[in-house]
């Protein structure tokens, strides 16, 4: 009953306040664009005159430009979020990735495409961190888990929307235009949001804010920051390798009609499961009053699902897609990961951490792929199933250890600053 009463209230402390709604919708469009490129990559490059193996090579070039933009943008928006405010970053990032989305639909060359993927990456890097920070600071500690759960679960459903929009329009340019228009419409909601009181208090005290380098000059703070990043890495191995290359894994597993497995469809099923997982992990953490306990459960569940996925052979395509959905459920701790990062640090550096941590996790994907490729080619001589199990197990063990080094933050009062 407490949840329903909170939903009915209209004050700034209710779960469905303006900050939660805008952050959730902004993250929805963010994920829409982030996953849309993977869905339209082949068709868009063919339309630009790229053929054969060059599609793979140019696709890697474009995704690298996007990831570089996200790494740079994560630092930029994080610092600005602590110096200028959460709302400025929230709407600034929405504006940039909306314009970039529309521009992506107008490109006529690969270099033009790469430039706008870079700009899109910069824009995409800011929304989640600013949104989660604003929501966490706007709600009382007993409710903020519900708020961040709503943001994450609504947001990741943007991946499903991207797949469905492409299935309906069958035109990659229209898909980009749709994302851009949705983002621009969100800008009209800016007037309804106010900055968090906690941040205003820090502004009034003239404290040093957004000092990114301070995360590296203090050993204890650096290790805490590093552990926040490490607990999120299994998710991007699962999405970036096991799901993105699902056609190859399906073939290796001898899945019936493996040639019909589509990476875009597997991504849509995975993210559908991620929505369920985010809701489940968010609710469980509220009911059990513990972030860490639920995070342990999901990391263990994720490891189990990696082994199930890579050892289930000779099944139908429908069952294979169902496995992709369960894989998504198992990494439904994204909401906990970002919330834990926000709760570990003081107000004067909170946006910097909450914005950079998820982008460094995303940016770790090239290194994860490099490690996976080395294990596949040099250790298991091309066996992608054993390689996937080994890399997945190592990342899970690292994440479990990193989680053990972080403090429980459910009851943490966020109204404090980091000392120099």
Average pLDDT over residues 180-195: 82
Say how many C-beta atoms besides its own lie within 10 A of residue 155's C-beta. 30
pLDDT beyond 70 at 11: no
- 220 belongs to a structural domain: no
pLDDT over threshold 70, residue 355? yes
Is 215 inside any structural domain? no
Work out the pLDDT band at 420, boundaries 50, 70, 90: low
Which of these, 34, 188, 257, 22, lies nearest to 125 by C-alpha position? Answer: 34
Residues 172 and 289 in one domain: no
Q: According to the per-residue pLDDT averaged within each range, which of 30-44, 241-255, 383-397 is highest?
A: 383-397
pLDDT, position 317:
94
> Has residue 228 been placed in a domain?
no
Sign, CA torsion 206/209/213/215:
positive
- Residue 168 domain flag: yes
* Average pLDDT over all residues of the chain: 88
Pair (190, 321) in one structural domain: no
* Mean pLDDT computed over 296-309: 97
| Judgement on whether residues 199 and 242 belong to the same structural domain of the protein | no
Q: How confident is the model at residue 328 (pLDDT cuts 50, 70, 90)?
A: very high
Is the model's pLDDT at 4 over the cut of 70? Answer: no
pLDDT of residue 216: 93
User: Within the chain, what is the greatest distance between any pair of CA atoms?
Assistant: 64
First to last CA, the chain: 43
Please give the model's pTM, rounded to 2 decimal places: 0.87
pLDDT range class, residue 190, cuts 50, 70, 90: low
Q: How confident is the model at residue 293 (pLDDT cuts 50, 70, 90)?
A: very high
Distance CA 228, CA 127 (A): 18
In a domain, 352, yes or no: no
Is 337 domain-assigned? no
Judgement on whether residues 104 and 252 belong to the same structural domain of the protein: no
- Number of domains the chain contains: 2
SS (H, E, C) the chain: CHHHHHHHCCCCCCCCCHHHHHHHHHHHHHHHHHHHHHHHHHHHHHHCCCCCHHHHHHHHHHHHHHHHHHHHHHHHHHHHHHHCCHHHHHHHHHHHHHHHHHHHCCCCCHHHHHHHHHHHHHHHHHHHHHHHHHHHHHCCCCCHHHHHHHHHHHHHHHHHHHHHHHHHHCCHHHHHHHHHHHHHHHHHHHHHCCCCHHHHHHHHCCCCCCCCCHHHHCHHHHHHHHHHHHCCHHHHHHHHHHHCCHHHHHHHCCCCCHHHCCHHHHHHHHHHHHHHHHHHHHHHHHHHCCHHHHHHHHHHHHHHHHHHHCCCCCCCHHHHHHHHHHHHHHCCCHHHHHHHHHHHCCCCCHHHHHHHHHHHHHHCHHHHHHHHHHHHHHHCCCCHHHHHHHHHHHHHHHHHHHHHCCCCCCCCCCCCCCCC
> Are 118 and 249 in a shared domain?
no
Are 263 and 394 part of one and the same domain?
yes
In a domain, 109, yes or no: yes
Predicted local confidence at residue 398, as pLDDT: 97
| Contact of 218 with 334, CB cutoff 8 Å | no
Which of 171, 206, 241 is the last residue before a domain boundary? 206
**Residues 202 and 291 occupy one common structural domain:** no
For 192: left if phi > 0, alpha if psi spans -120 to 50, otherwise beta; the answer is: alpha
What CATH code is carried by the domain that includes residue 87?
1.20.1250.20
Q: Give the least confident one: 57-71, 163-177, 352-366.
A: 57-71
In this structure, the answer to whether residues 238 and 191 fall within a common structural domain is: no
* Final residue before a domain boundary, out of 206, 221, 255: 206
Provide the pLDDT confidence category of residue 191 given band limits of 50, 70 and 90: low
- Residue ending a domain, among 206, 223, 258, is 206
- What domain range includes position 320? 233-332+364-408
Q: Is residue 304 located within the same domain as residue 167?
A: no
Question: Is residue 123 assigned to a domain?
Answer: yes
On whether both 37 and 130 belong to a single domain, the answer is yes
Q: Are residues 263 and 378 in the same domain?
A: yes
Contact criterion met (CB below 8 Å) for 126 and 73: yes
Residue 82 shares a structural domain with residue 153: yes
pLDDT of residue 8: 41
More confident residue, 32 or 4: 32
Residue 408: the pLDDT is 94
pLDDT of 240-292, one tens digit each? 889 988 888 999 999 988 888 888 889 889 999 999 999 999 999 999 999 99
CA gap 416, 420 in Å, rounded: 13
- The pLDDT assigned to 102 comes to 95
């Amino acid at each position: 009953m407490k949840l329903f009463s909170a939903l009915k209230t209209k004050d700034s402390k209710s779960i469905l306040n303006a900050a939660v709604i805008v952050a959730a919708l902004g993250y929805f469009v963010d994920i829409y664009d982030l996953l849309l490129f993977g869905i339209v990559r082949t068709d868009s490059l063919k339309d630009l005159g790229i053929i054969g193996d060059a599609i793979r090579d140019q696709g890697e070039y474009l995704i690298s430009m996007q990831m570089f933009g996200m790494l740079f943008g994560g630092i930029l928006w994080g610092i600005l979020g602590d110096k200028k405010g959460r709302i400025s970053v929230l709407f600034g990032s929405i504006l940039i990735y909306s314009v970039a989305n529309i521009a992506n639909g107008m490109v006529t060359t690969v270099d033009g495409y790469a430039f706008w993927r870079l700009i899109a990456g910069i824009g995409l890097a800011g929304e989640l961190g600013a949104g989660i920070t604003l929501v966490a600071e706007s709600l009382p500690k007993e409710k903020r888990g519900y708020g961040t759960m709503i943001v994450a679960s609504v947001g990741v459903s943007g991946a499903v929307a991207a797949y469905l929009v492409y299935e309906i329009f069958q035109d990659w340019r229209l898909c980009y235009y749709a994302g851009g228009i949705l983002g621009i419409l969100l800008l009209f909601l800016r007037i309804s949001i106010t900055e968090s009181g906690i941040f205003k208090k820090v502004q009034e005290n003239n404290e040093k804010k957004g000092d990114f380098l301070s995360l590296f000059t203090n050993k204890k703070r650096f290790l805490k920051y590093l552990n926040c990043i490490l607990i999120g890495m299994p998710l991007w191995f699962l999405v970036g390798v096991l799901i993105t290359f699902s056609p190859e894994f399906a073939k290796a597993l001898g899945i019936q009609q493996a040639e019909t497995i589509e990476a875009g469809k597997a991504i849509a099923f995975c993210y559908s499961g991620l929505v369920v997982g985010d809701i489940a992990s968010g609710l469980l953490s509220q009911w059990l009053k513990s972030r860490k306990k639920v995070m342990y459960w999901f990391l263990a569940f994720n490891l189990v699902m990696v082994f199930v996925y890579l050892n289930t052979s000779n099944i139908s395509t429908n069952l294979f897609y169902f496995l992709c959905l369960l894989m998504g459920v198992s990494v439904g701790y994204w909401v906990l990961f970002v919330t834990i990062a926000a709760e570990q640090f003081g107000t004067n550096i909170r946006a910097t951490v909450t914005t950079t941590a998820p982008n460094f996790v995303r940016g770790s994907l090239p290194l994860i792929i490099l490690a996976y490729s080395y294990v596949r080619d040099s250790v298991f001589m091309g066996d992608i199933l054993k390689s996937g199990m080994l890399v997945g197990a190592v990342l899970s063990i690292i994440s479990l250890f990193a989680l053990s080094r972080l403090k429980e933050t459910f009851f943490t009062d966020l109204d404090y600053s980091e000392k120099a």
